[in-house]
Structure formats: C-alpha cells, structure tokens
A and B are shown apart, each in its own frame.
Chain A
C-alpha cells in the first residue's frame, strides 16, 4: 500500500477513537438533559419525595449530599493541605518516610471505593462508634450505627489524595526565589510557609477542595452502608442521623424502585442534577488548574 494512504488510514482510525469517546460523553450529557430537563422544576428541587417515592422531589437528597460533602471537606482539606505542605516543604525526597507517605497517598487514590465503605463500617461504625457508645451512653446504640458523620469521614479518606495532589502541585509552582527572599529576610520556615507559600497556593487549595467535593458528591459505594438511606422523612439534624444522597437515590430508584418505569422521569432528573453539580465543579477546577499551570511557564 502507498505510504501516504497508510498514513491517512492510521491517522483516521486514531481520530475516530477520539470521536467515539467524545460521542459517548456527548450522548451521556444529551440523554441525561433530554430525559431530565422536563421534570426539573422548583418543586422537584425543593420538595420531599411523595407517594412511596414515585412522586415529589429530591430536596432531602440535595441537602444530604451538600451536608455530607461539607463535613467531608472540613475533614479532608486541612489534613490534605498539611500533608501536601509536608511533601513539598519538609520531606526529603530521598528519605524512606517521604517515599512511604507518597506511596500511601497513591495507594489511597487507587483503593476501590467500596473498600472505603467496608473500612468505614469496620472502623468508624464497628470500632470507634461502638466504643463511643459504651463510653458515653452506656452501651445505648447511637454512634455504633451508620450516620452522616461516619459516611462523611469515610468519604473524606477517599478524597484525601485528591486534595493532597492538587495542593502539592500548586505549592511546587511557587518559585524557589520567593522562599529564599522570605528566608533571607529572617523569616522562619513556618513564617515563610504561612506568609508566602500558602497565600500563593490558594488557588491550588481551592482546586483540590472543589475536586474533592465533586468526587465526594458523586461517589456512592462508600456510603452504601455507612450512612445513606433510601428514604428519610426529615433532614439530618444531628451528626448521628442518616441521610439521603443524590447518587444513592439514583441507584435505588433505578434498581430497587417498586415501579422503575413510573419513576423514570425522577431518575433522569436526579441524574441531571448530580451530573450538573459534579460537571460544573469539575469545569471550575479544570480552569483553576489550567491557570496554576500557566503560572509556571
């Protein structure tokens, strides 16, 4: 075969692969929008489910997801930022400790999310919660069962590496000059981190937080048995309450609902809400990250 023809064929095949992937992405988006948009209105967003979940809205699932991700972020972001500071500023790259921590972070990033769910069940509920019950409430069951706190903390562990990676990347784009300028003025290492490094990493911390929230809002496996419920007649008003979540709602409605066909509009609309949420968060993060990377050039 002529070499030019071969070139064109091969390039086309690779180009088609790109198009196929993009086509799938666009299909998911389009079908979700087309299927979900008609049912999306204020009532749907602001009402509780009605008539055995076949009608009504998803208000408690939205609130549950929001509260869960907020608690998650409050737990994950400080620890993530501090670990990133350690890796970027304190760790000696060649030391065994730094290497081990790095490997641990990578491991956390690839451990299947269902394992985090098991861990949450075994550790937070079966160990920490149980012991809290026997210490504080004389064995009465309160913390030793699934709730929004344990679900959020489980999710925080899952999103910890997301925060660490984003923040460390941002810290590393701060030029060495800036640190030297600060130290040469007689600033201590901690003053340098607080006044020069952290202010320069704000966008990275923000990116990490947004990515973590987006990830946490969409994950379902870790909360399957650590706190999410099928239906709740009230919003969670204590950390020991269970909660409804958007992702779990989609899963339950599409697989366990008593009438899957009748609730299809609800399913699509819920998926649209979740996708819109994670999608827009991701878009913001991508833009922020792009701006951080540009700074290094």
Chain B
C-alpha cells in the first residue's frame, strides 16, 4: 500500500439540525483510486466535498472533526482554502465548462495564478489536454466555445482544466453519470492513466464502475461509513452483511 495522502478523523457534518455525516474516519492512499459507493443520499458526495471544503459555500453547514492532507488539518483556522483547492481539484457530476473557448477554459486556472505569458499558457494548455486524452479531438478547435463539444468531451475538458492547476488530488463526483457508455469508458480509461500521478477519489453510484476503476472502495449508508477495504475484497468477500446486501443489489 502507498503512503497515506488524506487522513480523515471523526468527521461529522450537519445541515442545520440534520446530521448528514456521522464520525467518519478513513485513510486514503497516495496515487491510487479510492471509490465511494452507496445509495443516493448516503452522504458520499457530501463527504467528497468536505475534502476541498466546497461545503463552506453552503449556508447552515457545520463540520466537526479533522481532515489531514499531507499531515495538515484542512479545517484548521489558519488554512488558506483558496490554495487548498489548487492542490485538491474537483470534477463535478454535470460537466461545467465556462462559456469561453476551450483554450480559455484550460488557461483559466493558470491565469488566476498569474501566468500570463502566451508561450507558457500554450504549453500548459497542450500538456493538460494531452493528459486528459482530448488533445487530438480539440487541437483544431482550441478557440471554439467549449460548449460546442459533446458531453463526454466537455467532461474531459473539465478534467484538463483541473489538471492545468497542477493538483495532487482529484475529487470526482460521479464524473460519468450523465454520459453515454463510450464516453464513460474513455473517462474510466483516463482515470486509470491519471492515477500514476494523482491521488484520485471518485464518487459513483455505479458499482461496476467502482469495481473496474478503483483500488479501494468505501461504502456509505445514511451518513455512516459502513466498510472500507481493497476493492477486490469489498466485491468478493465483504466483512459486513450490509455491504454484501448492497453489492448484491438487495438495497439502494
């Protein structure tokens, strides 16, 4: 097993009075794919969003507990959330490219970091698009609107856009749920490539996808972490009865 990249200790989250996450603890290893599965409403996406403090944007959310990334507690009051998010990129369920050209989408992150030199930007854009395995498809259309691309291409543009900021961790919130099977396969292939360099955490409602792409799998149910283990163990020999019931399709 690789080194621990993310360590979560007793993390609880409340929406108003509703307890959405109950004392979650887990270790997530570096440069591997960790999948969160569970029925909808189980808290897996909410949990994912606590790892780059995206829940900060929502009113009425209270968080207790600790999340260490590279041994630094990201809920410490001295944390710079903006820089945290540069290190922890996020891909959303619905692809959300800006209404700008492909080039400007990818260059958005570098630009806000003060990179303005044309040749530097060109280089980053090309590298990111290549990493996201979409360079060949868009290299002649760099200055067309990103919204003119297909759904699957848009999602890979979003991945490339995240990569352009040089993150270390990529959070993916059901990145293929809105896509067709071919686009989904491309995204999964990409995840496989990216884990060589990045720590990837993916939320999915699709158990086959978790089985195909991940090294570790965690099952959430009603705000609890039921079980977390190597993916092949979860899917072949789970320790908990609930896990067995879920993966065999008896609930959720």
Contact = CB atoms under 8 A, between A and B. Distances in A.
Given A181-B96, A200-B99, 14 more contacts: A94-B59, A177-B96, A179-B57, A180-B57, A180-B90, A181-B161, A184-B52, A184-B54, A185-B85, A185-B161, A186-B83, A187-B108, A188-B82, A196-B98
Interface in A161-197: 175, 177-188, 191, 195-196
Contacts, number: 62
B86 A183 contact: no
Nearest to B84: A186
Contacts of B59: 92-94
Given A178-B96, A191-B112, A184 B90 contact: yes
Nearest to B56: A183
Contacts of A196: 98
28 contacts: A175-B96, A177-B94, A177-B96, A179-B57, A180-B54, A180-B57, A180-B90, A180-B92, A180-B96, A181-B96, A181-B97, A182-B108, A183-B85, A184-B52, A184-B54, A184-B89, A184-B162, A185-B86, A185-B89, A185-B108, A185-B109, A186-B82, A186-B85, A186-B86, A186-B113, A187-B82, A188-B82, A188-B112
A190 to B, nearest CB: 10
A164 to B, nearest CB: 22
Interface in B66-100: 82-83, 85-86, 89-90, 92, 94, 96-99
Interface residues of B, number: 25
Which label, helix, strand, loop or mixed, suits the secondary structure of the A interface?
A: helix
B158 interface: yes
Contact of B85 (A94, A178, A184): A184
From A94, A183, A186, A196, name the one whose CB has the most chain B CB atoms within 10 angstroms: A186
Given A92-B59, A180-B54, A180-B57, A187 B112 contact: yes
Contacts of A180: 54, 57, 90, 92, 96
A93 B60 CA distance: 12
A182 B57 CA distance: 13
B165 interface: yes
Contact of B98 (A94, A178, A184, A188): A178
Closest 6 CB pairs of A and B: A186-B86, A177-B96, A184-B90, A185-B109, A181-B96, A186-B85
Contact of B109 (A92, A177, A186, A200): A186
Range for the number of chain A residues in contact with chain B? 20 to 34
B94 A185 contact: no
Contacts of B83: 186
A181 B54 CA distance: 10
Nearest to A188: B82
A84 B52 CA distance: 28
B57 A186 contact: no
Nearest to B99: A200
A195 B105 CA distance: 11
From A92, A187, A196, A200, name the one whose CB has the most chain B CB atoms within 10 angstroms: A187
A184 B92 CA distance: 10
Interface in B154-180: 158, 161-162, 165
Contacts of A92: 59
Contacts of B97: 181
Nearest to A94: B59
Contact of B108 (A93, A177, A179, A195): A195
A180 B97 CA distance: 11
A123 to B, nearest CB: 38
Contact of B112 (A94, A179, A186): A186
Contact of B158 (A175, A181, A186, A200): A181
Contact of A195 (B54, B90, B112): B112
Contacts of A187: 82, 108-109, 112
